[in-house]
Amino acid sequence: MEKVLIKERLTIRLKIMAVLVIAFYLVISYLMIDFSMVLAVISLLIGVFFTSFSKDHLITKKFENETLFSCFGLVLWRKPLVLEFPDYISVFHASFVSVDEIEGTEDKYKKWVLRFFKENRHVTMLEDYQYDYIVSKANELSLLLDIPVHDTSKI
């Protein structure tokens, strides 16, 4: 194994929201403007582009890492990802809070997190709701970089 691709997956909520936004723009553009089929198609294409856009991290054996920006799996551009070589990989469960100050609401949710640790510094590489996905990526990275994984779910 020479490289590991860390893909950030879209949540179901985000997928549903994207479909609703696309549908909303299609309906509004059709109702509001004469000859709006062109605007509807443009809105659809913009919506599809943004829902299929992803930012992934490519970690290599030589630790020459890149951030990949892609659409439909096709890489549009690459950017060097500068990281310190980690001492170990940590997998843990974290609670997050999202506050909407305008509406005065607060959403609490939990995710699994994969981080690289170097001494007392860390870099978050991936957050996901699925434990199995996080652990599989941590194990792949551990084999690739020959560093240990500290999985707090086993404690």
Residue 23 clears pLDDT 90, i.e. is over it: no
Q: Where is mean pLDDT largest: 10-19, 32-41, 87-96, 100-109?
A: 87-96
Of 28, 63, 51, 50, give the one whose Cα is nearest residue 147.
63
Of 66-70, 80-84, 99-103, the range with the lowest mean pLDDT is: 99-103
Three-state SS annotation for the chain: CCEEEEECCCCHHHHHHHHHHHHHHHHHHHHHCCCCHHHHHHHHHHHHHHHHEEEEEEEECCCCEEEEEEECCEEEEEEEECCCCCCEEEEEEEEEEEEECCCCEEEEEEEEEEEEEECCEEEEEEEECCHHHHHHHHHHHHHHHCCCEEEHHHC
Mean pLDDT of 14-36: 70
What is the structure's pLDDT at 36? 60
| For the chain, percent of residues with pLDDT exceeding 90 | 45
List pLDDT tens digits, range 104-148: 788 777 889 999 999 999 999 999 888 999 999 999 999 999 999
Residue 87 clears pLDDT 70, i.e. is over it: yes
Mean pLDDT of 49-77: 88
Torsion of CA 87, 124, 96, 48, to 10 degrees: -150
Average pLDDT, the chain: 84
What is the structure's pLDDT at 21? 74
What is the structure's pLDDT at 73? 81
List pLDDT tens digits, range 31-51: 766 556 676 677 777 777 777
